[in-house]
Chains A and B, each alone.
Chain A
């Protein structure tokens, strides 16, 4: 299996319990390594995409826009402008003479046609090369149209997805502070870093409603421009998971003095813990909140646990590998799998940091493989080595698992099933169960041959 790993990538892989962890991360993907990673533009697009009443215009040739057309399951309770794919579709003449004129005309046309509350204009690789002055065009269009037109400096080659998060936050931050906040409750939060996949944010908002906490802005799932504009009025920012919006929270902390905490809505402990943290934060202004939260958690768990126990019976001892975008999510997943009696034996991420990997080392079982920025060959080597029963990842990882005859669970931006909150945990358990327990695995050659061998050996005895 070692020949699946390129020499230059060896320091991006670590096995827990085998010496100090010093994993190399946040470096450029290796040429020719078939990285599972995307680009800066992708990072920005992911973060900003769910803002449903904004126009999202991709300035570049057609591909970048096409590949991001409505690929996420980010739902909106109202407008759905975000689900359209707008592009300047640059042609050769634009590349030669510059695309500013076309960009201007496109904005003019699209803003008139759709009357968005704001427009985000994403720059792609080629725009960075031909040197269009995005900022100038945006400034001018803002004035002309009377809405914020915000450049998102997301040329794909300027790093990986992570830099895209920053570009997105920088763009959004220009909206923050533009609306009146006089009617915002002192017990209020912003939900950052959740994209309302399959309506997950609605689950979380319902919990907060029951706790008596006002949610000012969803950033960015089911997001609205106006809400972002008044998000500085909330008392606390909740930053979930991968840290896609961590930069925004930091900017708001610096400029508006808003504190933030990192939360996770995945899995039982992390969900409960996140709610308790919020309750704890507000307990001085609202002494009853802690009790309300406890009741909420108790009620939800009493519904959930018996169901989970049923699945656990089947799943006990099964092995899991996961490859996720941000590693923060991996922490929650790891714990969630423990509830199902399953063992996590490999954790990989596209954009983990040194601290993330150190934390993973701490909470993982010994012998767990940790890997940064993996590729199909490595992933398949690890899956085989550990003989896992389930692989968790995104669309690009799915066929790898299936080819090896391993169950798969989509835990990426494209999932269409809500996995957050207590309800989500139940969906998650159900999905894991239906993947792992399907009889089809007994037919895939890798397993079938093993079963045959075992039967043969048993027959010989």
Chain B
């Protein structure tokens, strides 16, 4: 197999109905949120920031403060430099951040604000104040999706904060892609058990899933310490998750600037992709995989065996971020679920090749793979294919409901269920919990649809 089959005769709609992507600065804002003492700042009009806050809050159920330069009409016409500077000063006054992550929006990209220049002026004008680190990223939404914003922000942070070669310290950098808070916690645990010091960038595990506290904190605790980002040049290697990444990433920058070897692997979802992660960690650290993960791996295979009949041959539609979809395909192909359609809103990310690679040897056939789709496209195509399952974020609910099939919620955003930030997707543990969920969804459907309603299944 492994021949990439791509159905071409697809109606080429010009409009978008129910997009399967979000806008670029949102991804950047989320990534900036994963740095200690940092606050995201959107250079644009107020609406974008407010909308994104609302959106992110409904998934994480945490306060998410995203500042904005709140451009009005005049600024939109004559340039937003003054607002940007004033906005940064106000954020400094109120939040006392260690870092401000400035992302542009469609508006400021279009009016052509030269953010590096404005920030340069800002540093000159206010150099006598104690200034936070200011990291900037260019994120016009007409150029990509939220994942581009995320990766762009990560790369910018690496490039703009890690500027000197630090003395090697045997640590490992992990650039984990857009994963959940629980996933980050899992990665930290894994590194701890390996006994290796890790820098995970960004680390949203605490900043977007914080504890109840005595007081309202302006900026939540946690996040990747800036000192650690500066020190990423000291690592023995970088592992960046994502088979669909572009050429400009944090991992690539670290390798280019400081010869920190970059290991680009898929998001570790399912058995085989998780094996790759553990192999890579063994490689970098020279330490064998700790027994607890060997055991977990064993339990995963055991579960695969116990549950295989329930899911074999089931037909799934999978959608979402390009790398998440790839990871899901890797996992689903292992358990005998046929992915009939894999869709993402992103374009030009080589998802077809990536999926071919991760399903090689186990998938019975390649799914139809679509980049740049919206839910209208997905529905048009998948409706005829009679899926048994949908796997993706909340936005597919309407379609799952229409087709009367279970929706397994993964990824972002989860607006219609509780605990989206605590879904574990990664590692053997993540595969195990996704497997349980899928088997149970199939069982539940069978039970509900049955007249008899067997009590033993």
The answer to whether A136 has its CB under 8 Å from any CB of chain B is: no
Closest chain B residue to A91 by CB distance? Answer: B142
The answer to whether A196 has its CB under 8 Å from any CB of chain B is: no
Given A42-B51, A60-B106, A106-B14, CB of A6 within 8 Å of CB of B94: yes
Question: Which residues of B382-417 are within 8 A (CB) of A?
Answer: 395, 398
The answer to whether B135 has its CB under 8 Å from any CB of chain A is: no
- Point out the residues of chain A lying under 8 angstroms from B67, CB to CB: 32-34
The answer to whether B26 has its CB under 8 Å from any CB of chain A is: yes
Whether A86 lies near B15 (C-beta < 8 A) is: yes
Other contacts beyond A38-B47, A84-B17: 8, CB < 8 A: A34-B66, A39-B45, A63-B23, A66-B19, A86-B16, A95-B106, A105-B15, A106-B15
Interface flags, A1-38, vs B, CB<8A=1, else 0: 00010100000000000000000000011111111111
Whether A64 lies near B51 (C-beta < 8 A) is: yes
Interface flags, B83-95, vs A, CB<8A=1, else 0: 1101111110111
The answer to whether A402 has its CB under 8 Å from any CB of chain B is: yes
- Point out the residues of chain A lying under 8 angstroms from B218, CB to CB: 377
Whether B72 lies near A32 (C-beta < 8 A) is: no
Q: Which residues of A contact B (CB under 8 A)?
A: 4, 6, 28-42, 57, 60-69, 71, 83-92, 94-95, 102, 105-106, 109-110, 125-126, 128-130, 156-160, 376-377, 380, 383-384, 394-396, 398-400, 402-405, 443-446, 449
Segment from B55-63, B115-123, B196-204 that makes contact with A: B55-63
Partner of B142, one of A90, A156, A405: A90
- Point out the residues of chain B lying under 8 angstroms from A63, CB to CB: 22-26, 48, 51-52, 106, 141
- Point out the residues of chain B lying under 8 angstroms from A92, CB to CB: 140, 142-143
With the chains together, A6 CA to B86 CA distance in Å? Answer: 12
Question: Shortest Cβ distance from A327 into chain B, in angstroms?
Answer: 18
With the chains together, A354 CA to B237 CA distance in Å? Answer: 60
Whether A31 lies near B68 (C-beta < 8 A) is: yes
With the chains together, A308 CA to B143 CA distance in Å? Answer: 54
Whether B55 lies near A35 (C-beta < 8 A) is: no
Given A32-B86, A125-B45, CB of A403 within 8 Å of CB of B21: no
Partner of B216, one of A60, A94, A403, A443: A403
Whether B216 lies near A404 (C-beta < 8 A) is: yes
Q: List 26 A-B contacts (CB under 8 A).
A: A31-B83, A32-B70, A32-B90, A32-B94, A35-B68, A39-B47, A39-B50, A40-B47, A61-B106, A62-B345, A64-B23, A64-B51, A66-B22, A67-B55, A85-B18, A86-B15, A95-B140, A110-B17, A125-B45, A125-B48, A158-B73, A160-B46, A377-B95, A396-B53, A398-B57, A405-B212
- Point out the residues of chain A lying under 8 angstroms from B44, CB to CB: 125
Question: Shortest Cβ distance from B43 into chain A, in angstroms?
Answer: 10
With the chains together, A212 CA to B14 CA distance in Å? Answer: 48
Whether A156 lies near B214 (C-beta < 8 A) is: no
Whether A157 lies near B45 (C-beta < 8 A) is: yes
Closest chain A residue to B345 by CB distance? Answer: A62
Whether B70 lies near A35 (C-beta < 8 A) is: yes
A-B contact count (CB 8 A): 235
With the chains together, A160 CA to B45 CA distance in Å? Answer: 10
With the chains together, A87 CA to B45 CA distance in Å? Answer: 19
The answer to whether B256 has its CB under 8 Å from any CB of chain A is: no
With the chains together, A84 CA to B21 CA distance in Å? Answer: 15
Whether B19 lies near A109 (C-beta < 8 A) is: no
Question: Shortest Cβ distance from A341 into chain B, in angstroms?
Answer: 27
Given A37-B46, A65-B16, A156-B47, CB of A399 within 8 Å of CB of B21: no
Given A66-B23, A125-B44, CB of A32 within 8 Å of CB of B91: yes
Closest chain A residue to B218 by CB distance? Answer: A377
Given A35-B46, A109-B14, CB of A399 within 8 Å of CB of B111: no
- Point out the residues of chain B lying under 8 angstroms from A57, CB to CB: 15
Whether B50 lies near A36 (C-beta < 8 A) is: yes
The answer to whether B240 has its CB under 8 Å from any CB of chain A is: no
Whether B107 lies near A157 (C-beta < 8 A) is: yes
The answer to whether B213 has its CB under 8 Å from any CB of chain A is: yes
Whether B57 lies near A399 (C-beta < 8 A) is: yes
- Point out the residues of chain A lying under 8 angstroms from B107, CB to CB: 125-126, 129, 156-157
Question: Shortest Cβ distance from A259 into chain B, in angstroms?
Answer: 34
With the chains together, A41 CA to B16 CA distance in Å? Answer: 18
With the chains together, A94 CA to B68 CA distance in Å? Answer: 25
Question: Which residues of B239-298 are within 8 A (CB) of A?
Answer: none
With the chains together, A106 CA to B14 CA distance in Å? Answer: 6
Whether A400 lies near B90 (C-beta < 8 A) is: no
Partner of A376, one of B65, B83, B142: B65
Question: Which residues of B22-37 are within 8 A (CB) of A?
Answer: 22-26
With the chains together, A224 CA to B95 CA distance in Å? Answer: 46
The answer to whether B435 has its CB under 8 Å from any CB of chain A is: no
With the chains together, A89 CA to B88 CA distance in Å? Answer: 30
Given A31-B68, A403-B213, CB of A95 within 8 Å of CB of B142: yes
With the chains together, A62 CA to B84 CA distance in Å? Answer: 24
With the chains together, A84 CA to B18 CA distance in Å? Answer: 6
With the chains together, A394 CA to B55 CA distance in Å? Answer: 12
Whether A67 lies near B73 (C-beta < 8 A) is: no
Closest chain B residue to A36 by CB distance? Answer: B50
Instruction: Give 3 nearest A-B pairs by CB, closest first.
Output: A39-B47, A63-B23, A32-B87
Whether A125 lies near B142 (C-beta < 8 A) is: no
- Point out the residues of chain A lying under 8 angstroms from B76, CB to CB: 125, 128-129, 157
- Point out the residues of chain A lying under 8 angstroms from B65, CB to CB: 34, 376
With the chains together, A407 CA to B408 CA distance in Å? Answer: 31
